[in-house]
Structures are given as C-alpha cells and as structure tokens.
Amino acid sequence: MAVHAHPDDESSKGGATTARYVHDGAEVLVVTCTGGERGDVLNSRLKDDPHIQRDIVEVRRQEMARAQAALGVQHTWLGFVDSGLPEGDPLPALPDGCFYREPLEVATEALVREIRRFRPHVMTTYDENGGYPHPDHVMTNRLSVAAFEAAGDPEAFPHAGEPWQPLKLYYIGGFSLDRIHTFHEALVAAGKESPFVDWIKRAEGRPQRTLTTWVECSAFFDARDEALRSHATQIDPDGFFFAVPNDVQADLWPTEEYELAISLVETSLPEDDLFAGVPASLAEADALGARTDLTAVHDTRTAPTVREWQ
C-alpha cells in the first residue's frame, strides 16, 4: 500500500517500484488522501485552458485514472480536501475543512478502514517532514504512522473492520542528493544544461536522510514516465523529470530508494526488496500480519521539524 497526498505523487515518488511489484505478482494499492483541488496548474501549456480552470477536480480524477492504468496499480481516494501550499511570512492560515486541519483520529480511521480491507504487508509513505514541507505531505506521514499502529489493534476503531497489522513501513527517499548529483554531473559531462543546479544548492544545506533500501526497477521507468505524463496539469513534459533519458538513468541509477521506518519482522540492512524479511509463504505472512501483539524490531521515527500551519 502506497499512501500519497495528491494525485501525481504516486507517479513521481515510487512509481517505478509499484509498477515492478505489480509485474512481479503483488497486489499494490495506491491511496490518495486528497483530490488535489487546490493544486496549481504547473504545465504552462495548460494554464489558460478554460475547461481545466472550470473543473480541476474532474480533470485531476481523469489524470489519476490514466496514471493508475500506466502503473497497473489499484487505487482509492481517501476523500479529504487539498490544503493548498501556504506561502509568505508569516504563513497564512489554512482553509477550514482541509486535510491538514482534519482531526488526526478522523483521518486515521479512514486509512485504517483501507488497511483492514486491503490487508497489506508493506506500506510506503513520506517522512515526518513530508519529503518536502507541504502540509498535506506532513499530514500524510502522521496519518500513515497512526494507521499503521492502529490497524492491528482490536480496540482501535472497532467498527472499521477486522484488525490487520502491516509488517513494514517505509519512507520514500527518491530525491536523495546523491541521486540528483549523479544526474547533474552526467548532464554536464554530456555538454547539456542541468535543471538541478538550484536544487543542489538548496539541498546541500539540509540534513540528508539515512536510506536503507534500494529497489531495482529500471525496467519500469517508461511506465513511471507514462504515469507522470498522465498528470498533464502537474507535470511539464519538458521538465526535470525527463532531463535524463531512461536508458542513461538505468545505467547510472537503476533504483528507487526508501528509508525503513518501522519493521515488525527481522531484516538485514541494506535491503534490495521492500518485502525483505516478510515470509515468502502468503499463508505464513497473512498469519503474521493478523497478529496484534507484534513488537517493532526496527523503528527510526523521529519528531517532526517542520513549521506549523495555523
């Protein structure tokens, strides 16, 4: 189960990984917490399209359906409303009724229902800072951690289905500085302009995450890019996502990366598989996932350091 904040996040953050696991025979569910209603149109070619301006909600739903087909995943909407990205100093208040301002227990119950229905062994989401400090990404982390812990507890949300305990929770780490440096240097060496100069300057002053898991998925970069282009309002077809050809990416950096946040099974780091440590037998894994007395053997969660929105 891949838990994301907005439609398009599932394609830009772990899209090739999900396509690989679908190909390998796993059931993969993308959960999108909001409809992306307050997202800007980031593709300059579509900014003035009257249809998009008139019905951005339906447009983004259609984009998500195309991306879902490209990746081969299952999909569900959690049903919350995009908070928007506040700008300014001081930051303006977020709108009433938005995802970030939902009581955590309300959002948690909604995701617990999906966990108990789908019964995943592995979940992926963002780190405690949201990957980047968008309020919906931060809320997605809080919600995912809370739901991971509550889903197996029969006393938590007893009307939300039979208890089910996922075994591993990962934070997506796909925009690591090492990866961006590698692509930047390859473009410079080829005599091409790199779109990553400012990105590197911003990132070099920040602490870097400790990645644990590298999933080889280069055979699915094309599927990922098809899914990205499906989100036409959000993705510039000439933008940085496509600056490095996929065959070059496959040679330089054939993986997508993750940070193991919680594991209830033994595993050895570094990993090359999100299912490392999960029993190979589905019956055994299901029996383990159905238990409610499991204790974390790996837990690297830290307190959030992001700014708060009122």
In order, the DSSP letters of 74-139 are EEEEEEEPP-----SSSPPPPPTT-GGGS-HHHHHHHHHHHHHHH--SEEEE--TT-SS--HHHHH
Which of the residue ranges 16-25, 27-36, 50-59, 190-199 would you say has the lowest mean pLDDT?
50-59
What residue numbers bound the domain in which 6 lies? 2-173+255-299
Strand partners, 216: 255
219 found inside a domain: no
Residues 162 and 183 in one domain: no
Binding site: residue ranges? 6, 9, 137
Average pLDDT over residues 218-236: 96
If you average pLDDT over every residue of the chain, what do you get? 93
Instruction: Say whether both 187 and 276 belong to one domain.
Output: no
* Within a domain: 235: no
Give, as one character, the DSSP assignment of residue 19: H
Q: Is residue 237 part of a domain?
A: no
- Asked if 168 and 181 sit in the same domain, the reply is no
Same domain, residue pair 54 and 200:
no
Per-residue pLDDT averaged across 37-44, rounded? 80
pTM exceeds 0.75: yes
- 77 and 133 belong to one structural domain: yes
17 and 125 in a single domain? The answer is yes
Residues 38 and 187 in one domain: no
| Same domain flag for 190 and 126 | no
CA distance 95 to 80: 13
Count of structural domains, the chain: 2
* 38 & 59 share domain: yes
Residue of 142, 12, 137 whose CA lies nearest to 82: 137
User: Do 50 and 168 reside in the same domain of the chain?
Assistant: yes
Residue 304 lies in a domain: no
Q: What is the CATH number of the domain that holds 143?
A: 3.40.50.10320
User: Could you read off the pLDDT of 87-142 as tens digits, one per residue?
Assistant: 888 888 999 999 999 999 999 999 999 999 999 999 999 999 988 889 999 999 99
What pLDDT sits at residue 109? Answer: 98
Q: How far apart are CA 17 and CA 11, in angstroms?
A: 10
Residues 232-287 have pLDDT tens digits of: 999 998 899 999 999 999 999 999 999 999 999 999 999 999 999 999 887 788 88
Q: Are residues 44 and 157 in the same domain?
A: yes
Annotated binding site for Zn(2+): 6, 9, 137
pLDDT above 90 (res 306): no
